[in-house]
Chains A and B, each alone.
Chain A
Amino acid sequence: MVNYGGDEVSALVLDFGTSSLRAGYAGDDTPKAIIPTSFGFIEEPAEANGGDVTMGEAGATEGEQPQASKPKVKLYIGQNGPSLWRSGMQIGNPMQDSLIQNFDAIPPLISHALSEVMRCNASEHPVLVTEAAWNSPANRERMAEIMFEEFQVPAFYIANTGVLNAFAAGKGSALVIDVGHSTASVIPVVDGFVLRKGLMHCALPQLVHAHAKHLLTSPTPTRQGIQLIPHQLIASRTPVDAGVPPRFTLREDRRAGTTDSWRAWAENREVEEWIQSIGGVLPQGWNDSAATSQGSRHYEFPTGYNNYFTGVERYAVGEQYFAHSAQLMASNPNLPKTIPSLVTSSIGQCDLDLRQVLLGNVVLTGGGSLFAGFADRLANDMGRAFQHVKIHAPGNPTERRYGGWLGGSILASLGTFHQLWISKEEWQEHGRAIVGQRCK
C-alpha cells in the first residue's frame, strides 16, 4: 500500500458540473452516482399534498426534499427527475457559468446522490468537493458550510477541477483545456496550483449549442424548420420518408401542464442529442469541399421527422469551437473566444519559462471535447501556433468526461493528502477562514 502512496479512508468525492453531478468513493476509477444537475420542481402554494401521486409515478429512487424557503417547492432529482413529465413541473439548474448560483438546491442534490444512489451516510466519510478554478471564496465557504452543517461530514476539502484534471492525467504541471457543458476553459496548472493570471474561460459550448439549435429550427431552402418536440409530448407518430414533414399526434392531455422551462430543457436535450450523434469537427480546419466529402448522416427526431444531414451542416457545428465565421463576428462583437484564442491568451499570460512546460503537457478533458475529431483539430491548430506541443487526451470517454472526479478520487485516496482535510474541529474553531487558508 505504501508503495504507491495510497491510503484509502473511504472518502467521498463530489464533482459538480453543469450537466451532471458525479459522486463516488475515492480510489475508484468511475463515479458511483452520476445524476443530472438539472432538477424539476413544482411550486406548491400551500399544504396541498399532491406529492403522493407524483411519488408513485417517480418511483423510489426519486429524492424529494421539501424546501425550507418561502414558496414551498417539491424537488424532483435524479435520473427520473427532470426527464419525467409532470404537470406544472419546472426545471432549474443551480449552476451558472460553472459556478453554483443557487445553493438552495445543492443539499437535496448531494443528499440524493449520497443517500439515494450511493446509499451511504455522509457523516461517516470525509468529503472532497470540486470547484471551478474561478470560484469565489464566498462560494467555497458556503459549500463548506453546507457539508459541515447539513451533512455533518467529519472532514472536508474543496479542490480545483483544473488541478484535479491535471492529476487525473498524472501531471503536476499542465495546461488543462476543459470543454464542459456550458463553459470552455483553459487552465494553466503549475505544481498543483492554478495560475490565476493565465486562467481563461468562456461560454463557448453555449454558443455551439445555440448555433446548432438555430441550424435545426430555422428553415433552409431544402427543408422547413424542425420541430424539437420531446417524446414525452408525443402520443403517436407514423414513419415517414426522409425529408418529408412528420406525421404525429401530440399528447393533448399534457399540453396544459407543460411549463416553458421544461419545454426549453427538453428541446435543448434534443439539440444536444443531435449534436452528439452526428456533429463533428474537421481535423484539418474548415474547408467546404472537405466538409461535403464527409458525407451525410441520417438522424430521426422524436416527431418522426428524419433527414440526411450533410457534412457541411454537421461539421459547421463543431467548427464553432475553433473559428467563428466572419458574418457572425460582424453581427456579434461579444462572441466568446474560440479554443485556440483562449489557449493563446492563456499562454501569453504565463511566464516565458513556463511556456514550454505547459505546451508539452496539454490535457484535453471535459465531455464537450468528445466531439469527433476535436482532439485532432486541437493538435493541428496548436501545432501551427506553437512548437513542441504534446496533447494528452484520454481515449476512454469516462476518463475524459469525469476527469475532475477522477483526479479527486486519486487525490483523496493518497496517504499524504490526509493532512490537508479540514476537520470539523478546525471548522468549528476557525470558521470560514480556514477554507481559504487550507485550500489554496
Chain B
Amino acid sequence: MAASAADVRSILSLPNAPGTGPPTQAKKPQAAERAKKPEGIPRELYALIGPSIPTMAAQFAKPRLKQKPNIGGGGNVKWEWRPFRNGARTDDLRLSHWVKSSVDPEADYPFAKYNVQTTPYVYSQDEYNRFLEDSNWTKEETDYLFNLVREYDGRFLVVHDRYEYPGGTERPLEDLKDRYFSICRKLVRNRPWPGDEASKAALISTLTFDKDKETLRKQYVASLVNRTPEQIAEEDALYLELERLKENERRFKKDRDELLRTLCGIESGLPDIAVDDDGLAGTTLDTKKKRKAVAGSVEPQTPVTPSASSVIALPQPQPKKSSAKSAAYDALHCIVRTEVEQTAGSSTKAAHVPVHLRTFKMAQPKAAVAPRVSQVVGEVGISATRIVMPTRDNLAKFASVIDAAQQLVEIKKAVDKHEQDIRTTRARLAILRGENPEGEGEALETPMDVEEGEAEGDVEGRGQSVMSTRSARSRKQGRRSMSVSSVDTANGPNKRQKQR
C-alpha cells in the first residue's frame, strides 16, 4: 500500500486540506486500521507489510524496562530541622534534628524507649534493724554500697573500682557482691510477695551468690594466671610427654593385637579379624599339614619350624577372668557367660563357638540309649526333644532329668545282664551236673531270649528298641557305664571260648 497524501500530511503534522471529502472519508477506516496496528512497528513498515505478519511485532516492540524503584515513597519528601523533646530527659532541653515533615511533631522521641531503668532495692531503717544487720557492715556503708550499685546499674566491677567508703576498709569484690545479694534475698523473702511462690523462688535464685565458691574460684584463676613462664613451659612439656606416652602405648597395643591376630586368628579373642575366612582356613590348614609333616618326618627340625615354634612359644590368650566387679555387673544385668571351651593348640574354626539358640544345646541322651531314655521321660510326661520354655534353669533341670533317665536305663541294663549271667551259669551248672553238652549253645541262646523277653516283660512295648540298642552298643564304644557292659559282653564270648 503506497503512502497516501493523507499519510504525508500526518507525518508532517499538517492539517488536512479543506474540502477534500473523499480523503477524510478514506482516512476514517485508515485510522481504525492504525488503531489496530501492533505496537512497535513503524507505521510505514506496517503499511508495506500489512497486518499479515504479526510475528515480527515482538521484535520491534519497545523493550519494556523494569520500573525504577521509587525510593522515598514517591514524590518529594520534605525534611525539616525540628526541635524535639526527649522523653528520657527530666529537663526541658530541646535539641533539634532532621525529620520528615510527615512525622508527627508530638510523637515520642524514638530513642526514649531505650532508657530502661532497673528498679533498685531499697530498704527502710526498720527492715534494716530487723534482718539486715551485719557485724562487718554499718548501715551507712551499706547505703553507700547500694547507692553505688544503683549509680552503676549493678556493674560490680565498676562499683568495686569506685568503692571508696571513707574510713572503711578495702573490701574485695566478693564482699560487696555478697552483701548486696544477701540483702536483696532477705528483702525478697521477708516482704509480702504479690506473685506465686515459683516466681519468688525464681527471683531468689537469680540473686544467689556463693561467696566461698567465688573466692575459691578466684583463687584457682589466680593460680592459673600467676604461673611463671617456666611453670607453663613445664606444664606444656608434661602434657606433651603424656601425649607421647599415650601414643606409644596405643601403638604398642595395636602392634600386639596385629601380631596376635596374624598368629592366633580368631582364637585370639580379638575383634575385627581382618583376614578373610578362606585365607584364614587355608593358612590354618597349611600349618596343620606342616605340623603333621613335621611329626611324620624323621628329622625333627624342618625349615618350617621357625613359624611352628613361634606358634608354640606364643602364650595362649588368657580366658577372660571375671573380676568381682564384672561378676557383680553381670548379676545386675542378668548376663550369663558361657565358658568357651578352649581346645589347646588347635587353631581350627571348629573350635569357635558361634552364636546359637539355647535349644540347640539341649541335653541329648547318648545315641545308644536315646530311644529308651526318651521312652522313660515320656512315661513321666516329658518330651525328650522339646521344652516349652527353654530357660537356662529349665535346660539344666532337663539335662539332669535326661541324665537320671539315662543312668536308670543303664543300671537296668546292667541288672539284666547280671541276671542273664546268673541264669546261664546256672544252666551250665545244670549241664555239668548231667545234661548233654550240645544243648549248651541253645542254652546260651535261650537265656538271652529269655532275658530279652523278661526285659520286654518289665517294660512293655520296648522289644524292638532293645535289639537296636544292643547292636548300637556293640558297634560303638561307650564310656564308663558302657564299658562295664561291654566288658561283660566281651567277657561272655571269652568265657565261652575258654570253655570251648
Q: Is chain B a partner of chain A in the same complex?
A: yes
Q: Does A46 contact B (CB under 8 A)?
A: no
On whether A351 and B157 interact (CB within 8 A), knowing A415-B110, A419-B112, A425-B91, the answer reads yes
**Residues of chain B within 8 A of A5, CB atoms compared:** 111
Q: Does A196 contact B (CB under 8 A)?
A: yes
Q: Does A25 contact B (CB under 8 A)?
A: no
On whether A7 and B111 interact (CB within 8 A), knowing A190-B158, A191-B158, A351-B160, the answer reads yes
CA distance A25 to B161 in the complex (A): 33
On whether the beta carbons of B222 and A352 are closer than 8 Å, the reply is yes
Name the residue in B89, B92, B151, B218 with the highest tally of chain A Cβ atoms < 10 Å from its Cβ: B89
Q: Does A426 contact B (CB under 8 A)?
A: yes
CA distance A2 to B112 in the complex (A): 12
CA distance A353 to B86 in the complex (A): 37
CA distance A197 to B173 in the complex (A): 13
Q: Does B360 contact A (CB under 8 A)?
A: no
Stretch in B43-51, B94-102, B373-381 with 4+ CB within 8 Å of A: B94-102
**Residues of chain A within 8 A of B162, CB atoms compared:** 196
Q: Does A82 contact B (CB under 8 A)?
A: no
Q: Does A208 contact B (CB under 8 A)?
A: no
Q: Which residue of A lies closest to B222 (CB)?
A: A352
Q: Does A235 contact B (CB under 8 A)?
A: no
Q: Within the complex, which residue of B157, B222, B225 is in contact with A195, where a contact is CB–CB below 8 Å?
A: B157
**Residues of chain A within 8 A of B115, CB atoms compared:** 416, 419
Q: Within the complex, which residue of A416, A421, A424, A429 is in contact with B114, where a contact is CB–CB below 8 Å?
A: A416
Q: Which residue of B lies closest to A198 (CB)?
A: B161
Q: Does B93 contact A (CB under 8 A)?
A: yes
On whether the beta carbons of B173 and A351 are closer than 8 Å, the reply is yes
On whether the beta carbons of A10 and B91 are closer than 8 Å, the reply is no
CA distance A196 to B173 in the complex (A): 15
On whether the beta carbons of B95 and A418 are closer than 8 Å, the reply is yes
Q: Which residue of A lies closest to B156 (CB)?
A: A351
On whether the beta carbons of B225 and A8 are closer than 8 Å, the reply is no
Q: Does A146 contact B (CB under 8 A)?
A: no
Q: Does B152 contact A (CB under 8 A)?
A: yes
CA distance A440 to B161 in the complex (A): 12
Q: Does A32 contact B (CB under 8 A)?
A: no
Interface residues of A in 341-369 (CB under 8 A from B): 351-355
Q: Does A9 contact B (CB under 8 A)?
A: yes
**Residues of chain A within 8 A of B1, CB atoms compared:** none
The count of chain B contact residues (Cβ–Cβ below 8 Å) is 29
Q: Does A154 contact B (CB under 8 A)?
A: yes
Q: Does B412 contact A (CB under 8 A)?
A: no
Q: Which residue of B lies closest to A188 (CB)?
A: B161
**Residues of chain B within 8 A of A190, CB atoms compared:** 155, 157-158, 161
Q: Does A423 contact B (CB under 8 A)?
A: yes
Q: Does B298 contact A (CB under 8 A)?
A: no
B432 to chain A, nearest CB (A): 114
On whether the beta carbons of A440 and B97 are closer than 8 Å, the reply is no
CA distance A5 to B89 in the complex (A): 17
B interface footprint on A93-127 (CB within 8 Å = 1, 0 otherwise): 00000000000000000000000000000000010
Interface residues of B in 170-189 (CB under 8 A from A): 173
Interface residues of A in 1-29 (CB under 8 A from B): 2, 5, 7-10
**Residues of chain B within 8 A of A418, CB atoms compared:** 86, 88-89, 95, 109, 111
The count of chain A contact residues (Cβ–Cβ below 8 Å) is 32
**Residues of chain A within 8 A of B96, CB atoms compared:** 9-10
CA distance A352 to B111 in the complex (A): 36
**Residues of chain A within 8 A of B158, CB atoms compared:** 190-191, 193, 195
On whether the beta carbons of A415 and B157 are closer than 8 Å, the reply is no
* Consensus secondary structure, chain B interface: mixed
On whether the beta carbons of B225 and A352 are closer than 8 Å, the reply is yes
Q: Does B221 contact A (CB under 8 A)?
A: yes
Q: Which residue of B lies closest to A191 (CB)?
A: B155
On whether the beta carbons of B221 and A2 are closer than 8 Å, the reply is no
On whether the beta carbons of B93 and A425 are closer than 8 Å, the reply is yes
A163 to chain B, nearest CB (A): 12
A122 to chain B, nearest CB (A): 15
CA distance A9 to B158 in the complex (A): 30
Interface residues of B in 149-171 (CB under 8 A from A): 151-152, 155, 157-158, 160-162
CA distance A423 to B92 in the complex (A): 8
On whether A416 and B111 interact (CB within 8 A), knowing A154-B95, A440-B151, the answer reads yes
CA distance A191 to B159 in the complex (A): 12
Q: Does A164 contact B (CB under 8 A)?
A: no
Q: Does A155 contact B (CB under 8 A)?
A: yes
Interface residues of B in 211-227 (CB under 8 A from A): 218, 221-222, 225
On whether the beta carbons of A126 and B95 are closer than 8 Å, the reply is yes
B293 to chain A, nearest CB (A): 69
On whether the beta carbons of A193 and B221 are closer than 8 Å, the reply is no
CA distance A32 to B158 in the complex (A): 35
CA distance A5 to B92 in the complex (A): 22
**Residues of chain B within 8 A of A421, CB atoms compared:** 89, 93, 95
B111 to chain A, nearest CB (A): 3
Interface residues of A in 409-440 (CB under 8 A from B): 415-416, 418-419, 421, 423-426, 429, 440
A32 to chain B, nearest CB (A): 19
**Residues of chain A within 8 A of B91, CB atoms compared:** 423, 425-426, 429
B457 to chain A, nearest CB (A): 101
On whether A155 and B152 interact (CB within 8 A), knowing A195-B157, A196-B162, A416-B111, the answer reads no
Interface residues of A in 155-208 (CB under 8 A from B): 155, 190-191, 193, 195-198
**Residues of chain B within 8 A of A191, CB atoms compared:** 155, 157-158
On whether the beta carbons of B89 and A419 are closer than 8 Å, the reply is yes
On whether the beta carbons of A419 and B88 are closer than 8 Å, the reply is yes
Q: Which residue of B lies closest to A429 (CB)?
A: B91
A9 to chain B, nearest CB (A): 4
B243 to chain A, nearest CB (A): 20
On whether the beta carbons of B95 and A155 are closer than 8 Å, the reply is yes
**Residues of chain B within 8 A of A415, CB atoms compared:** 109-111, 114
**Residues of chain A within 8 A of B89, CB atoms compared:** 418-419, 421, 423
Q: Which residue of A lies closest to B96 (CB)?
A: A9
Q: Which residue of B lies closest to A11 (CB)?
A: B95
On whether A197 and B161 interact (CB within 8 A), knowing A351-B173, A421-B95, the answer reads yes
On whether the beta carbons of A423 and B93 are closer than 8 Å, the reply is yes
CA distance A418 to B151 in the complex (A): 18
**Residues of chain A within 8 A of B110, CB atoms compared:** 2, 7, 415
CA distance A415 to B92 in the complex (A): 17
Q: Which residue of A lies closest to B83 (CB)?
A: A9
On whether the beta carbons of A354 and B92 are closer than 8 Å, the reply is no
On whether the beta carbons of A8 and B97 are closer than 8 Å, the reply is yes
The 8 closest A-B pairs by CB, nearest first: A415-B111, A423-B93, A419-B88, A9-B95, A193-B158, A195-B161, A352-B221, A416-B111
List 21 A–B pairs whose Cβ atoms lie within 8 Å, in order of A's numbering.
A2-B110, A7-B110, A7-B111, A10-B96, A126-B95, A191-B155, A191-B157, A193-B152, A353-B157, A353-B218, A415-B110, A418-B95, A418-B109, A419-B89, A419-B115, A421-B89, A423-B91, A423-B92, A425-B92, A425-B93, A426-B91
Given A416-B115, A418-B111, 19 new contacts (CB under 8 A) = A2-B110, A2-B111, A9-B95, A190-B155, A190-B161, A195-B157, A352-B222, A352-B225, A416-B111, A419-B86, A419-B111, A421-B89, A421-B93, A421-B95, A423-B89, A423-B91, A425-B93, A426-B91, A429-B91
